Amino acid sequence: MEKQLHVELMKYTPVPIEIIATAARLCYSASDIHQLLENMSGEKGEKLLVKLMEMGHESPLEHAVFTFGIEGISRACTHQLVRHRIASYSQQSQRYVEEKEFDYIIPPSIAGDKELKQKYITTMEELGNLYKDMGSKIPIEDARYILPNGCETKIIVTMNARSLKNFFMRRVCLRAQWEIRRMAIEMLRLCKAASPLLFKNMGAPCTSTKICPEGAMSCGKWKAIPGAKIMYKGEILSKEEIEDKDK
Amino acid sequence: MEKQLHVELMKYTPVPIEIIATAARLCYSASDIHQLLENMSGEKGEKLLVKLMEMGHESPLEHAVFTFGIEGISRACTHQLVRHRIASYSQQSQRYVEEKEFDYIIPPSIAGDKELKQKYITTMEELGNLYKDMGSKIPIEDARYILPNGCETKIIVTMNARSLKNFFMRRVCLRAQWEIRRMAIEMLRLCKAASPLLFKNMGAPCTSTKICPEGAMSCGKWKAIPGAKIMYKGEILSKEEIEDKDK
Amino acid sequence: MEKQLHVELMKYTPVPIEIIATAARLCYSASDIHQLLENMSGEKGEKLLVKLMEMGHESPLEHAVFTFGIEGISRACTHQLVRHRIASYSQQSQRYVEEKEFDYIIPPSIAGDKELKQKYITTMEELGNLYKDMGSKIPIEDARYILPNGCETKIIVTMNARSLKNFFMRRVCLRAQWEIRRMAIEMLRLCKAASPLLFKNMGAPCTSTKICPEGAMSCGKWKAIPGAKIMYKGEILSKEEIEDKDK
Amino acid sequence: MEKQLHVELMKYTPVPIEIIATAARLCYSASDIHQLLENMSGEKGEKLLVKLMEMGHESPLEHAVFTFGIEGISRACTHQLVRHRIASYSQQSQRYVEEKEFDYIIPPSIAGDKELKQKYITTMEELGNLYKDMGSKIPIEDARYILPNGCETKIIVTMNARSLKNFFMRRVCLRAQWEIRRMAIEMLRLCKAASPLLFKNMGAPCTSTKICPEGAMSCGKWKAIPGAKIMYKGEILSKEEIEDKDK
């Protein structure tokens, strides 16, 4: 059965800005930690956070940690996800959990073509039946070798805000693969709901650092962002400068 | 002025056992994450945690994260602490923060010898004065080259429960240096107050894994722990076996 | 087409024991590094290494680094592999590389059953054809959603000797999944050829630390290893002790 | 006695560009690893490396690893160094190694002032004598609490080329503390001697990414680098743009 993406923000460091601002302030202050924490609990902490983000002083972001429950994603997607090493993962195992329901993800390019979609669904169902069949003769951990990349999986992910910043830069970008991008956008939406200021400028590089690193591969979105530039063959160019080059 | 150790558990993942048990369960279950979380919120989660710890299935522990504010420790101590790489640190900088008060730590072996203690305090005060003096001529970041290892510092530390388990094994052990050990014991006390079951068996290897890895260097405490063994020249020996060898 | 596992040790730190022994010695010596290095180049370095391994002093192992080229493994296998975070990976991308040949891995349990094997190969070929078909209409990164877990991939992996020690403990063990285990055994074989002493006792926990952590799930092999014990419900037991319990 | 900085490149991945280029190429190619390695051994590998660096595709850099032996640095310096977590360290221990010679580092600002320098050296000698004195009554691990930050230490450091790139960006910059900067510059010099092309553009951000992130704190050097820009209050500005702002 087709499965839709579902992301939940399960747990996170309470009042994350407070601890980030306190940690950042500690580096430059002789005060007691307790005193700093009180001081940084309201607007003052928020002001410091804005400054930190502008200066690119990222290490204090690590003290705020977020845990997501993610369902309705394919194994193709999690194989990319778990390459992010500054994170913790617990994933449903295909060695131990039998795929009884056999849920799967349908890529939009397939969903949009009636004929292809029908072929895709039929194939998934046939593979599901073959899997069950094989599973009666051999261990499910071997039967799964015929299961497709599109097969649904579930995963719990914990990342700190610094690692999330990097994750969003790589995966919210239009150049990322559509499924991990859709998931990253949903994670970012939940983060922004939990702490709007902390995640305000997080996202693709064009919004996050105002530099598109994609060069000739760029989608061009950066041109619409005030002050944004592009990295092109080792140079940082403005909209005007790159248009000059193109002439 | 002499400064005493002060550790505070500033923030931690709310209801840590719940998320750990849910993550552990997910690996072996076809259920929805939400459903698992509800299921694991009470006694059931606690039972699963006990089983996890017995089996040494440690990765789900990473989803529970703890942030400490630590004061009244020496730079000798933090130089050891920051060697633990699966952690996040924000530390008071001697480049930017002037040591006006000039607080310091006194090792017990010095505190216990009246004459030595007096000598130590006088030296600290002289160094404090010299530092201030130099600081009026050169940058404080250079004046600090005469500041001693015993100089007080403050640090904020974030570690997940798996990294803490390893930290406690290395640093609660009697073979650890006294100051980092004292600090680790205090961190463990606060963790146990926050989540008694999660940290129940954490501590030195003799309590945590029931194997003392210290061989000929062992303090011998393991002999008093029922079922504990020792790693001795690559062999795991019981109290009786090692006594046989000693004969 | 069926593809066989092929592992190559592409690069590694020259004379690894030399640097490991020097690093270990430095912690406890006032000598110059250069002098230590000379001293540790022959038999002396080897003796120190043996001692280190016995004492479980593992951090110096990190200075020796090994890079493997691995082919003929399935995506099911690499999804497990890349979960090891203290390592570096470069993997053939299914987003960009078209699976023209469509190679795949056949699990032994399938290869051993003539009928199943035929069914498996036919399915793989059908999926390969469907993939090519779809790839003419939609991006290959979407067509790959029907590609099976058994699909062949190539990966370059770099790990240091400490991370390898942990990797071998988890993956050479009989309880590991057969494919990653076969690969880990081959990696270990190549490591032993490059530096016999360094990797001498590496492998499953029963040989590496002489403690089987698998409890009731244990394969029982540890019983044949002189001095080995088992972790059973939080206790370390000898062969005799567990047999007493079983009565 | 005063000690001078001495850095040695002890070991590194042989022909590092070859493995980096092969790993990078593998992601986008259907070829065998062996074939790619042969292909990438000469000029072709170098060309690909240049392209990688321009595109900011950094992960293949991790397969090349470098080990340094470093002497003649202060504990103030190593306390900063070991904060870089994607690295391996083995350091001379003040718990176990008696500081018999008592060597130390003299900051240039002190060396340049005759009177200060004399005071500094006298203080160091007095502390050295007091340390020896205390060491006869209490453990050296406690006597060291009076040892100054300027005390010499030795350390062996292993980092991969990606982590080195980040290290050089943070520590070769003029805003870094002078001692770790001097050390980083020396490490970079040795790296460039070993593999000129790989480390060609590594260094401070103004040369490495052509963006100075220091904003109002910038040393201004970026203005002399063709095409370089500055990050100023969240904006990327050219020399001309910032001069306009200043008006």
pLDDT of A233: 82
CB distance A88 to A160 below 8 Å: no
How close is the nearest chain A Cα to the Cα of B104, in Å? Answer: 14
Over range A4-10, report the average pLDDT: 97
Do A145 and A239 belong to one domain?
Answer: no
CB distance C204 to C231 below 8 Å: no
pLDDT of B233: 82
- C109/A138 CB distance under 8 A: yes
N residues, chain D: 247
pLDDT of B234: 78
pLDDT of A244: 84
pLDDT tens readout for residues C47-90: 999 999 988 899 999 999 999 999 999 999 999 999 999 999 99
How close is the nearest chain C Cα to the Cα of A60, in Å? Answer: 22
Do D197 and D216 belong to one domain?
Answer: no
Distance set, CA B222 to CA A119, B226, B244, B247 (Å): 65, 8, 17, 19
How many beta-carbon pairs below 8 A join chains B and C?
A: 38
Do B99 and B221 belong to one domain?
Answer: no
Q: What is the CA radius of gyration of chain C?
A: 22
Write out the two tokens for A31: 């005060």
**Among the residues of D13-113, which ranges form H helices?**
16-26, 33-39, 43-55, 75-81, 108-111
pLDDT tens readout for residues D106-121: 999 999 999 999 999 9
Q: Which residue of C has its CA nearest to A147?
A: C148
Query: Which chain D residues touch A if contact means CB-CB below 8 Å?
Result: 53-56, 201, 210-211, 213, 215, 227-229, 231, 233-236, 238
Over range D193-201, report the average pLDDT: 97
The answer for residues whose C-beta is within 8 angstroms of residue C103's C-beta and 6 or more apart is C1, C2, C3, C72, C151, C152
Max CA separation in chain D (angstroms): 69
- D54/A211 CB distance under 8 A: no
pLDDT of A206: 94
Strand blocks (E) in A44-128? 65-74, 88-91
CB distance A227 to A234 below 8 Å: no
Buried b vs exposed e over A81-104: b needs ≥16 C-beta within 10 Å?
bbebebbbbbbbbbeebebeebbb
Give the range of the structural domain holding residue A241, as residue numbers without chain letter.
204-247
Which of A62, A92, A160 is the closest to B26 by Cβ? A92
Over range A227-243, report the average pLDDT: 87
pLDDT of D78: 98
Which of D79, D106, D148 is the closest to B79 by Cβ? D79
- A142/C105 CB distance under 8 A: no
Do A77 and A189 belong to one domain?
Answer: yes
Closest to C127 in 3D by CA, of C116, C115, C143, C112: C143
Beta strands A6-12 and A65-74 are antiparallel
Residue C89, domain CATH: 3.30.1360.170
Give the torsion sign (CA, C155, C156, C158, C161): positive
Distance set, CA D70 to CA A202, C167, D9, D56 (Å): 39, 30, 9, 29
Say yes or no to pLDDT of B243 above 90.
no
How many beta-carbon pairs below 8 A join chains A and C?
A: 107
Treating both helix axes as pointing N-terminal to C-terminal, what angle do B178-194 and B161-171 enclose, rounded to 10 degrees? 140
Active site residues of A: 171
At A132, which helix (H) or strand (E)? helix A114-135
pLDDT of C132: 94
Distance set, CA B213 to CA A123, A209, B14, B236, D93 (Å): 55, 48, 34, 9, 20
Question: CA–CA separation, A63 vs D122, rounded Å?
Answer: 43
Average pLDDT, chain D: 94
How close is the nearest chain A Cα to the Cα of B94, in Å? Answer: 9
Interface probe, candidates C59, C209, C245, chain B, greatest B C-beta count within 10 A: C209
Say yes or no to pLDDT of D101 above 80.
no
Query: What one-letter code names the amino acid at B126?
Result: E
pLDDT of C99: 78
pLDDT tens readout for residues B178-202: 999 999 999 999 999 999 999 999 9
Write out the two tokens for C27: 């912690």
pLDDT of B144: 96
Question: CA–CA separation, A241 vs A229, rounded Å?
Answer: 9
pLDDT of A48: 96
Max CA separation in chain C (angstroms): 69
pLDDT of A176: 96
Do B7 and B111 belong to one domain?
Answer: yes
Q: Is A45 helix (H, G, I), strand (E, B) or coil?
A: helix
Query: What one-letter code names the amino acid at B243?
Result: E
The answer for residues whose C-beta is within 8 angstroms of residue B243's C-beta and 6 or more apart is none
φ and ψ of B10, to 5 deg: -75, -45
Write out the two tokens for A165: 């910043």
Say yes or no to pLDDT of A246 above 90.
no
With contacts defined as CB-CB under 8 Å, which chain C residues touch D153?
none
Over range D125-152, report the average pLDDT: 95
pTM for this prediction: 0.97
Question: CA–CA separation, B64 vs B161, rounded Å?
Answer: 6
pLDDT of C21: 97
pLDDT of B240: 86
Do C173 and C193 belong to one domain?
Answer: yes
How close is the nearest chain D Cα to the Cα of C32, in Å? Answer: 8
Do D9 and D108 belong to one domain?
Answer: yes
Burial of B229 by CB count in 10 Å (0-12 exposed, 13-18 middle, 19+ buried)? buried
pLDDT of D106: 98
CB distance C168 to C209 below 8 Å: no
Q: Model ipTM?
A: 0.95
Say yes or no to pLDDT of A101 above 80.
no
Percent of chain A scored above 90 by pLDDT? 83
Average pLDDT, chain C: 94
pLDDT of D100: 78
Percent of chain D scored above 90 by pLDDT? 83
Which is more confidently placed, B87 or A240? B87
Question: CA–CA separation, D78 vs C30, rounded Å?
Answer: 17
pLDDT of C106: 98
Do A178 and A208 belong to one domain?
Answer: no
Say yes or no to pLDDT of D178 above 90.
yes
Write out the two tokens for B61: 């522990």
Map B141-154 to HEC letters: HHHHHHCECCEEEE
Do C105 and C156 belong to one domain?
Answer: yes
Q: Confirm whether C162 is a catalytic residue.
A: no
CA angle B156, B161, B164 (to 5 degrees): 60
pLDDT of C112: 96
- C145/A149 CB distance under 8 A: yes
DSSP letter string, C53-100: HHHT--GGGGG-EEEEEEEEEEHHHHHHHTT--SSEEEE--TTTS--S
Q: Which residue of C has its CA nearest to A138?
A: C109
pLDDT band at B245 (very low <50, low <70, confident <90, very high): confident
Residue B182 has a CB neighbour count (10 Å cut-off) of: 18
Say yes or no to pLDDT of A122 above 80.
yes
pLDDT of D98: 87
- D138/B107 CB distance under 8 A: yes
With contacts defined as CB-CB under 8 Å, which chain B residues touch C60?
none
**What number of CA atoms fall less than 13 Å from residue A53's CA on the CB side?**
21
Do C117 and C7 belong to one domain?
Answer: yes
- C137/A130 CB distance under 8 A: no
The count of structural domains within chain B is 2
Over range A37-42, report the average pLDDT: 91
Residue A75 has a CB neighbour count (10 Å cut-off) of: 24
Sites in chain C below the pLDDT cut of 50 = none
Do C154 and C102 belong to one domain?
Answer: yes
Over range B87-108, report the average pLDDT: 92
Do D194 and D212 belong to one domain?
Answer: no
Lowest mean pLDDT across A60-69, B154-163, D236-245: D236-245
pLDDT band at A103 (very low <50, low <70, confident <90, very high): very high
How close is the nearest chain B Cα to the Cα of A237, in Å? Answer: 35
Say yes or no to pLDDT of B85 above 80.
yes
